[in-house]
Structure 1
Amino acid sequence: MKEKKHSNITRYTVLAVIMVAIFATIAGRLLFLQVVKGQEYKEQSNNKSLTEIQEAAPRGKILDNKGNILATSNQSYVLIYNQTDENDKTFFPTMSKVFKILDESGESQKDDFELKINPYRFEFRSDDEETRKNLEIKFKRDRGLNDEIEKKIKSKNKNISEDDLKSLVNKELLKITPEDTFKKLIAKYKISSAYSLEDQRRYMIIKDTLKMQSYSGYKPVTVASNIKKDTAFKFLQMSNELPGIDVDTQPIRYYPNKELGSSFIGYISKISSDYDKYKEKGYDVSSDYVGQAGIEGALEDRLKGSKGGKIVKLNKNGKIVQELGTKDSYPGQTVQLTVDSTVQKAAEDALDTTMASLRANPYGQDRSDTTNATRGAAVVLDVNTGAVLAMASRPGYDPNMFAVPGMISQDLYQQYFNPDLGAFGKEYIEKRNITSNFPGETEDQVLNTLFPLDTSIKNNTTIRQDVYDIYPKPFYNYATQSLIPPGSTFKPMTAIAGLESGVINPGFCVDDTGQFDQGGKIVKFILDGPKGVVDLAKALQVSSNPYFMTVGKRIREALGDDGLAKYAWKFGLGVPVNSDVKASTGIEIPEKFGQVYNTVSNKNTYASTYLWQVMADLRDGQDDKGHKVASLNLYDNSSDSSKIKQIKNDIKTLIKNSVKDGKSAFDKAKYKELFSELVKEDPNNKKDISDEKMDDLIDVIYSITVSDANAQLKVPANIENAAIGQGLNEFTPLQMANYIATLVNGGTRYKVHLVDKYLNSNGGIIEQVKPEVIQKTGINQETVEAIKAGMGSVNEGGTAAQIFRGFPISTGGKTGTASLGNQEQIGRTDYSEYVGFAPLDKPEIAVCAVLFDGGQGGYGAATVTRDIFSAYFAETGRITTSTPTSTSTQQNSN
């Protein structure tokens, strides 16, 4: 028994010793973890101790056709702030030191924060008021200013729909002034009012960025971009004194040639629209920059590159103490363009110099006042490929201003995105004494005609519209976006249609007496004067209006009212209506696309124009003949119910159909029915209209739509006017250049393209863009040669001879002087236009140049083209130096 008892004691002793050892080990491990490693694990327990620092990818380069850099990305130093719970406690004193160092070093804080001070205002990068309004709503919603408003509305109307709630909240948000918004954010971010207003905003920028970036996960805030090397080292040396502050490198977009090619290159900017689209593609919409306009915007997916980054561990002060993993960034594709920088610069310089000369001598041409010659465009194409060698639009802008946040001053922002058209308009009116052109009206009334207040904005008293295209717009590509009447530059197209249809031959002659009989109405060309008997070549040389109106008349008689259009469509001057043909030159960047005169477009244009006249007359209760009618308002009203909107739309459709189809579509009973419904349903049109007054009302509409508008659709003058480039013909300079290229290369219309090839970051070819034929027009070589000969005579002894005299290369061209209907009254003057090609015998390039308010085509636009030819042939070695342009004024040329 004793042995058994001893054995039990021994076993218990061993077990106890083992248990003591186990607990001692556990205790020791706990002591180690809590005391020795406690601080480290405490830092790791902070969800901000491990973070991903993204590395922006360099955007791909943009090169010209010789490999010269138009846009690139340079590595630069950036100052960043890594926030932790610990360093957030010292945020304000830390940032105060940071701001002081930046100021002393001549650096700028990153500032793309749209809420400004002195004065309080929002600066959103859009020249569209509706877009700016939507951006303001988003700005306030993103920062939670809608929360309190929603609660109040819901407390009063618990059953309100989501759509109605959103609409009401948005209206209330827009009532919050910029100053009140600023004060609300000051409170939200707990920024002391003891700081100066400027410092309050500087702190706000950082706090707001932290807030916005928190939606997409934690990441450092960029405090300053593109800082100098010495400044970066200064911050690195002081890193222990500045919790959370660090220095990193980041690619910054750089455009070495500044304004050169800005119209087609574009720029990069903070994301301000299509947020969902960019989110789906992996962008951080709170901070990423994307391509805007031009190649930067159109080829964003190719240029953007692939982001990299690193996972790092931060200590409590926001300093990186360990790098746990990295992912390399990859640059975007390089885009090599077809553009020749030398020719591009010549085009831009020629436009600027010529417009400056026109402004300095505004009355140097007959019937012209070129004091507002501030806008222009020029396009140069390779006639055998459709490649763009130059595309100039003036005025331009420096895209570098957008690459680094905070570079745009308030004055420049106003000029670019929110110009004071009221002040500009008054100066414009006073300089030209335009008030005298509006008898009985005050200057303010004239201002409201030329620059009317934007009626789409409720209670608007400041935002105006430039309805007559008077104000120069740097971000508007006049080469691809502006639709203008071609004037006499269209005459070669009329010649093509005449020759190809067989209604004329090169020897067909007309006795130009300086006038033309349009069905009993004699049109006199007083400034041009009689030219005598002219054949095709001579008619082109002297720009004979009677000759080409005769050709137009013959085309109409042989082929109908769309006879001219059927040939013009082949050359890209519009597309067949109601067809599936894409209305485009093929250019990679956004463009508008103009249309040649045709019966369908003519009906639609007349229908819209006369609809507005009817609406205005009914609103005023009187037509232009002085007939009094019942006053009714057909304009859209925000308070209109869906039923009222439908009634108004039905009336408008009826008016349009009356214009298009005349008497057969004029349904008097239907008019009476719809107007009766309108005055019954619409509180804004509530009134009693007797049968007699209703009849008077409908009679006035009949007079406008059928007796006037529809009757004008059928007059022969429409195609005759179109034949000399007037009337409804409107095209972009790009379309005009391509039509000339198609003509002189023998009739092959190429897809216009800016891109030559796509390259990888090492210069290897990913994709070579090959010339693409859109259409073979099938015109006869005899037609081509006959028109080329006539266009050659324009430069040799015709309307452009004074400019091209002595030029060492034989060239061809056509001048144009296109007018607006009421240009003298509104202070504008003719478009100066020129289309040309060179060399004459074997064409290589085609050019279209346009100067808005530039006067006659034989002077301004021809001058620009000659300078472009000089640069092109000097570069290719066929002339030794750029031949200086004649500055003599060419009179009476078109």
Structure 2
Amino acid sequence: MLKRLKERSNDEKIRNTMNKRIRFIFGVIVFIFAIIVLRLGYLQIAQGSHYKEQIKDSENITVNESVPRGRILDRNGNVLVDNASKKAITYTRGKKTSQGEILKTAKKLSSLIDMKTDKITKRDKQDFWIQLHPEKAQSMMKREENLLNDGSISQDQFDKAQHNKIGKKELDSLTKKDLQVLAIYREMMAGSTLNPQTIKNDDVSDKEYAAVSQKLSDLPGVNTTMDWDRKYPYGKTLRGVFGDVSTPEEGIPKELTDKYLSKGYSRNDRVGKSYLEYQYEDVLKGKKKEMKYTTDKSGEVKDSKVVNPGSRGDDLVLSIDIDLQKKTEEYLEKQIKKLRGEGAKDMDKAMIVVQDPKNGDILAMAGKQIDKDGSLTDYDIGNFTSQYAVGSSVKGGTLLAGYQNNAIKVGEHMIDEPLKFSGGLTKHSYFNQHGRKDIDDKEALMHSSNVYMFKTALKLAGDPYTPNMSLPNNITEAGQKLRKGLNQVGLGVKTGIDLPNETNGQIEPLNTNSGNYLDLAIGQYDTYTPMQLSQYVSTIANDGYRVQPHIGLEVRDATNKDEVGPLKHKIKGNVLNRINNTSDELSQVQEGFKMTFNKIDGTGYQSFHNTDVTSAGKTGTAEVYQDGHPRVNSTYIGYAPADNPKLAFSIVYTNQPVPEPWLNGGDLGRDVINYYFKNHKD
């Protein structure tokens, strides 16, 4: 009986142990199952929308395609920059398209179109040869492959060694047909996934376009479409100011990558890269066409449709009057020819700015670089990107600075005479090199008296002129005061024109260099741009209000037709400041400018005394050096009518011969004034 009880007890122990194990296993299973349920719940509920979007993204992908840019027009609606349609062949690479598949398509396409091969590099040929001859390429690299496998060399070192082994013999084995295929292949490979890449858009013949169009079903990813290019109905006129747009091959220029990518552009987008095209990119760029590509699980494109047809960019209307612009260029070239005929063989630049002095509209802007043989190159951008010593044209600003600081008073008389300083330094006026003449401030402008300006500057420094005096030891404060006055009228500061790369001129330090301080007062030290000269004379013409010049005038909505669309935005010239002078002080300078052009002793009388409407202004001559030889820059600034100005101008000629003879270039300003007012009777 004890034996039977003992056996029963052992059986119970075994059953209990088995039951425990079963319960443990069952618990583990329940635990694992609970984790799976929770995980599935998390994926479906918490992350469901995320994965749905991923699936959606992998099957329906939106890609932007380029559209034509907006036009650029003059103030009267004449089209200055337009778009020319041209045939194009593109390739859109699938998500999982292999290099072999791309090469296969390139070979088929090469039988249908001719491609230029001038862009193919040596490295392109080497890579292509490797792809065409994989077994030969591998056999050449057995030793290097062993070194790569055991870690003795890096992948870069392996690739470099492989390319070094592919020499002239191998590259010469590539046929003309191979190079055609390579030219197409390299363009295909340059595009990013599902972004249309231009293969050819220059000189695509009707025959090529039709042949490719008929074979599209056999050319995966290839498409025929219409591309565009900028065209310029007025030829080279203002071509530099318009700027450039990147090509389809170029995409976003490297130096502008960060700027444009931060705004949502793609790397292969065509963008404005200089001057007006760059400045007004947001206006001209247009709304890109949106395509939706549907792919299968392997990433191959199965279908596409237009989500948004896009639209070309808005039109930019300029303040430029193209008829005045063309006439100004004609007059400028005529004047250059005349001056060269009179002896200005070394003159290398000539520039002119024409603007409305009251609102800052730039009406015309022309510039020429002049070679030794007299040939001309457009240099319109030099009006705001280059700076020069401009001479006596600045003297109106010097007087205004003198008035501001109570160094001189309106109508004050001074003796124009040779100024003698200790150490033997002598300074004089050009019109009166030896005598003594009593003149007032207006006459100082009319005669272009250096001495009046020197004496004004010395008074401004608190050290009025006396014979044989020493120049002031420290003119730091006086220099700041004089420059502040010149800055107020627009000299030595950026004008704020709506174009990139404007320079503010060259401003050198002034502290103990008193001679340079005196030269500053007559425009012989700091350098200024022609645009600054135009703003300066416009400030005087506009009763002391300095207005920001602008070449953009309006933004107009794009339309599907050729007419100008509705007004979207008006571009106005902001008033930057009002000079710190009284109306009497400003009137004195205005009267001096009027005398300069209309009194027989005025330096501008020869050209301007008989303009169709009474004009006013100032002339200047700055001593400079060219290749070690003395030359002069000649400048002319002015406005008309003198009593109610509607037009202002500045003219700069660089590196003319040192007088005498005196070469007068003011006829350019006269011709512009006469043309403008004959054609603007309002």
Fold match by TM threshold 0.5? yes
Give the structure 2 partner of residue 523 of structure 1: 426
Report the secondary structure of 2:317's partner residue.
strand
Q: Which residue of 1 aligns with 2:228?
A: 251
Structure 1, unmatched stretches of 5+, are 1-47, 103-108, 118-147, 159-165, 364-369, 397-423, 432-469, 576-582, 604-712, 879-894
- Equivalent of 1:289, from 270, 285, 294? 270
Of 186, 189, 201, which residue of structure 2 is paired with 1:208? 186
Work out whether residues 274 and 500 of structure 2, in 8 Å CA contact, stay in contact via their aligned partners in 1.
Answer: yes
1-side partners of 2:517 and 2:257: how far apart? 47
Contact 2:596 2:616 in 1 (8 A): yes
- Give the superposition deviation at 1:267: 1.5
Could you tell me which of 602, 607, 617 is aligned with 2:509?
602
Give the Å deviation of 1:98.
1.3
Written as runs of structure 1 = structure 2, the 5 A alignment for 1:492-891 is 492-513=396-417, 515-524=418-427, 528-530=431-433, 532-557=437-462, 560-574=478-492, 584-594=495-505, 602=509, 713-727=511-525, 729-762=526-559, 763-796=565-598, 797=600, 798-820=602-624, 822-823=625-626, 825-827=627-629, 829-855=631-657, 859=663, 861-877=665-681
Shift of 1:742: 0.9
Identity across the alignment (%): 24
SS in 2 for 1:289: coil
CA distance in 1, matches of 2:276, 2:655: 29
Contact 2:86/2:201, CA 8 A, preserved across alignment: no
Task: Work out whether 1:371 is the aligned partner of 2:345.
Answer: yes
Larger Rg: 2
The residue type equivalent to 1:300 in the other structure is E
How far apart are residue 488 of structure 1 and its match?
A: 0.7
1:482 aligned onto 2:386: yes
Deviation readout 1:281-327 (Å, 9 max, x if unpaired): 33332x33211221111121222112114346899xxx999654442
Q: Which has the higher strand share?
A: 2
Tell me the distance in 2 between the aligned counterparts of 1:183 and 1:735.
60
Residues 699-722 of structure 1 show CA distances to partners (whole Å, capped at 9, x for unaligned) of: xxxxxxxxxxxxxx4254332211
Q: Deviations over 1:120-148 (max 9, x none)?
A: xxxxxxxxxxxxxxxxxxxxxxxxxxxx9
**Contact 1:519–1:716 under 8 Å retained in 2:** no
Alignment-derived partner of residue 392 in structure 1: 366
Question: Aligned partners of 1:203 and 1:194: how far apart in 2?
Answer: 10
Q: Aligned runs of 1:88-127 on 2, under 5 Å?
A: 88-89=103-104, 91-92=106-107, 94-99=109-114, 113=119
1:833 Cα deviation after fit: 1.2
Which segment drifts farther, 845-854 or 305-314?
Answer: 305-314
Looking at structure 2, the residues matched to 282 and 550 of structure 1 have their Cα atoms a distance apart, in angstroms, of 59
Q: Distance between the aligned counterparts of 2:320 and 2:411, measured in 1? A: 40
Q: 1:195 to 1:481 in 2, by over 3 A?
A: same
CA contact (8 A) 1:263 1:392 kept: no
Report the residue type matching 2:79 in the other structure.
Answer: I
Distance, in Å, in 2 between the alignment partners of 1:76 and 1:767 is 31
C-alpha change, 1:64 and 1:186, in structure 2 (3 Å) is: farther
Deviates more, 1:765-774 or 1:487-496: 765-774
Helix, strand or coil: the match of 1:562?
helix
Q: Is the 8 A contact 2:430 2:449 kept in 1?
A: no
- C-alpha distance in 1 between matches for 2:635 and 2:153: 62
Question: Contact between 1:553 and 1:716, CA under 8 Å: does it hold in 2?
Answer: no
Which deviations, in whole Å up to 9, do the C-alpha atoms of 1:183-233 show, x marking residues without a partner? 98999xx9873435xx7765544322222213x545343312364667645
Correspondent of 2:253 among 260, 263, 272 = 272
Work out the CA distance in 2 between the residues paired with 1:182 and 1:591.
47
Q: Distance in 2 between matches of 1:345 and 1:230?
A: 40
Q: Retained in 2: the 8 A contact 1:737–1:846? A: yes
1:260 equivalenced with 2:171 (yes/no): no
Whether contact under 8 Å (2:595, 2:616) holds in the other structure is: yes
Q: 2:166 & 2:78 partners in 1: Cα distance? A: 50
Which of 59, 62, 69 aligns to 1:59? It is: 69
Which residue of structure 1 lines up, in the alignment, with residue 175 of structure 2? 195
> Structure 1 pair 359/522, CA: closer, same or farther in 2 (3 Å)?
same
Cα shift at 1:785: 2.2
Matches within 5 A, 1:294-443: 294-311=275-292, 323-361=304-342, 363=343, 370-395=344-369
Aligned partners of 2:623 and 2:630 also within 8 Å: no
Contact conserved, 1:740 with 1:837, CA < 8 A, in 2? yes
SS at match of 1:770: coil
Residue identity matched to 1:835: I
2:43 aligned partner: none
Say yes or no: does 1:491 pair with 2:491. Answer: no
Matched residue of 1:479: which SS? helix
Amino acid at match of 2:426: V
The 1:314–1:501 alpha-carbon spacing in structure 2 relative to 1, beyond 3 Å, is closer
CA contact (8 A) 1:62 1:71 kept: yes
Residues 336/523 of structure 1: CA separation in 2 closer, same or farther (3 Å cut): same
Equivalent residue letter for 2:549: V
The gaps in structure 2 that reach 5 residues or longer are: 1-57, 124-143, 464-476, 560-564
Distance 1:223 1:827, change over 3 A: farther
Q: TM-score, normalised by structure 2?
A: 0.71
**CA distance in structure 2 between the aligned counterparts of 1:49 and 1:379, rounded to whole angstroms:** 57
